Chain A
Amino acid sequence: MIAQYAGIAPKADMTLLQKLGEKLHGRSFLHVNSTRAGGGVAEILQRMLPLMQDLGIETRWEVIEGDAGFFDMTKKVHNALQGNPEHITEDMWRHHFEVNRRNAERLDLGADAVIIHDPQPAPLIEFRNGGKWIWRCHIDVSNPAQDVFEPLMKHCKKYDASVFSVAKFAKAMGHDEFIIAPSIDPLSEKNRELTREEIEEVLNRFQIPPDRPMVLQVSRFDRFKDPLGVIEAYRIVKKYNDCILVLAGSPATDDPEGEIVLNEVKQYVASDPDIYILLLPPFSDKEINALQRSATVVLQKSLKEGFGLTVSEVMWKGKPIIGGAVGGIPLQIVHGITGFLVHSVEGAAFRIRQFLNNPDMVKRMGERGREHVRANFLITRQTKDYLSVWYALEQGGKDMIELF
């Protein structure tokens, strides 16, 4: 499995992966999150698990279970951590803890290293059973609502270390805080090369005309992804250029708001025949791949973003990308080099028009974007980083570690 990445991933990453694999051979690693499908976390775990296993590490992935009340509450927590005011009652926090307690009874939490992803399963730390425990925060917590952030931090501070996607998300937590960007898998169904026939089949299935310029955004139907702003930008562009707009997203089991936002979007679109709203079932990876490869311009016009992995997916395919200057997007888009960062609907519209009218610029930025992803945002790098954190924690806080 790991050998398949030779020639794709940087040599230094491959060598260190092999080295860490030798050092950690036969030891156990556990990931815990709250959904097996939908969203970037589940997606990368599906691919990372076999990679770690192939290195000789006994790797498992457990998913916590919860009722509708639990996921309503954790969605509110998610929004509050991204800065939205939310009211979380004492009862809700108690229920949050209680659901985690029940999951701790059900799950085998024993491992040499445990990574708990995001706030939903954060209280599991209270039931730790040996090993190094790491809280992995995928959310933009640069400006959280303090009344929600603080109760959650009571659990998070008990971990041995935290991992954030971007330096500005890190908080003074009293333990080691590592900065690790998420990643994409170049060999997954979502990112592998597709044949012309495969792409055409997908476009035909969705009745998308292959011969018109396509503006695309792939994301959950979530207000923070600003689907209405994307439609506004498209309407400005339409005054100058012919194009169609495709908004595609999959629902996630831990996001009860998705349907509400989807209905808002449908209402806003009204009867424009050139806007295609695609509600894709989970695991529509090939379809997303085909859409990204067919697009003329791709947007990730988020207002808040944990990281925005779709940006790297698009750049890996050599396509021009326009992203909101939030969260991890500026790490992926070097403005004017690998794509454009925008701060408004008008900015997005202007950059769409630039791309639609400058094929040379599209090609140049697309090539640079692909190399930027190769160096920084492939799954081999992220796997190497997780194993490095685990190994570093076991070395007792050394700044320089020699592996021979």
Chain B
Amino acid sequence: MDRAVQPFEFRQYSSILKSTGKKAGTLRQLRDLIAAINDASLFHHVYQYFLKGHILEYTNDFAQWTGVTLEEGALSEQLSNIDPYAFRSISELRAALVAVIDIYLEKFPETREVLPGDEFFFNQTVSFIYPAGITARNLAEFLIGVKYIDASSLYYHFYEARVRLGGETDDFSRWFESALDKRKLAERMRSFDLFMHTIEGIREHIIALIEEEVRRDMYGSPGEGMKPGDGRGFPLPEKYVAGKGE
């Protein structure tokens, strides 16, 4: 008898912004505040950056501010190059950010002050997690869910989950592995480079990957010379070809 599959319940994510009351007007002040600010604020400015739907010129708020407002292009690139998912804790991330700024300040100690109003304002969020009202019991249902949910739901399950679950995995991959026994699919999912896509870009990749897997489940492996997702579909197994059925 088949064992019952644990369904995947899509959750929705929403947040309200809260000010810490702290602001930096120079690079040195930014460095000191990054070193001292609470974890929630650091999390917001680095991990929640993707929720803003920016074009990916930068990968976190600190890189954006140093690039756009301070016009310190090299530092901005170095801060953008920090992969927050490579760290096991916020304190490791904090140390990496501070180290990059310290090295830059050693080379360029003269920091200019920005105009009033252009400072870096440290914020944090209060987050709400609630059911999106969509449950998937198999990959086909999951595919419909991924197409329907809001970007913030994708953020919660795919980006935020990496921090929540310790950086190694995300909610989708974990479900593929534990409930559907699809380890390879989970591996392919985990291999997406989060920084190279917007959330909507990630959605497209997930959809393509799942569509390929659903086809494979239905018809078996793709034939020679055919690529999944190339619009030509997959050859039908012989049992479905007229005259060759069992």
Q: Give chain A's interface residues, CB within 8 Å of chain B.
A: 10-13, 15-16, 19, 142-143, 164, 167-168, 170-173, 176-180, 375, 384-385, 388-389, 392, 398-404
Contacts and interface: CB of A to CB of B under 8 A. Distances in A.
Interface of B: 12-14, 16-19, 21, 23, 40, 53, 116-117, 119, 121, 123-133, 149-150, 152-153
Contacts of A388: 14, 16, 126, 128
Contact of A15 (B12, B117, B125): B12
A69 to B, nearest CB: 33
Given A11-B150, A12-B150, A168-B121, A179 B18 contact: yes
B153 A403 contact: no
Given A11-B150, A16-B128, A168-B119, 8 more contacts: A16-B130, A167-B121, A178-B16, A179-B19, A389-B16, A399-B40, A399-B125, A404-B131
13 contacts: A12-B12, A15-B131, A15-B132, A167-B19, A168-B121, A170-B121, A172-B21, A180-B17, A398-B126, A399-B124, A401-B126, A401-B128, A403-B129
A388 B40 CA distance: 18
A367 to B, nearest CB: 16
Contacts of B153: 12
A259 to B, nearest CB: 31
B127 A400 contact: yes
A76 B116 CA distance: 23
B19 A404 contact: no
A389 B14 CA distance: 12
A385 B117 contact: no
Contacts, number: 87
A143 B19 CA distance: 17
B21 A177 contact: yes
Given A12-B12, A399-B40, A404 B123 contact: no
A12 B14 contact: yes
Nearest to B125: A399
Contact of B129 (A142, A143, A401): A401
Contacts of A398: 126
Given A167-B121, A170-B21, A15 B126 contact: no
B130 A19 contact: yes
B121 A15 contact: no
Most buried by A among B119, B127, B128: B128
Nearest to B22: A172
A172 B122 CA distance: 12
Nearest to A401: B128
A16 B53 CA distance: 20
Of A173, A178, A399, the most chain B CB neighbours within 10 A belong to A399
B17 to A, nearest CB: 4
B17 A179 contact: yes
B121 A384 contact: no
Given A15-B12, A177-B21, A143 B117 contact: yes
A5 B96 CA distance: 45
B18 A16 contact: no
A12 B127 CA distance: 13
Given A177-B18, A388-B14, A389-B16, A402 B126 contact: no
B19 A399 contact: no
A171 B150 contact: no
A180 B12 contact: no
Contacts of B132: 11-12, 15
A173 B21 contact: yes
Contacts of A400: 126-127, 129
Contacts of A171: 21
Contacts of B23: 168
Contacts of A384: 14
B217 to A, nearest CB: 29
A402 B16 contact: no
A385 B130 contact: no
B19 to A, nearest CB: 4
A300 to B, nearest CB: 18
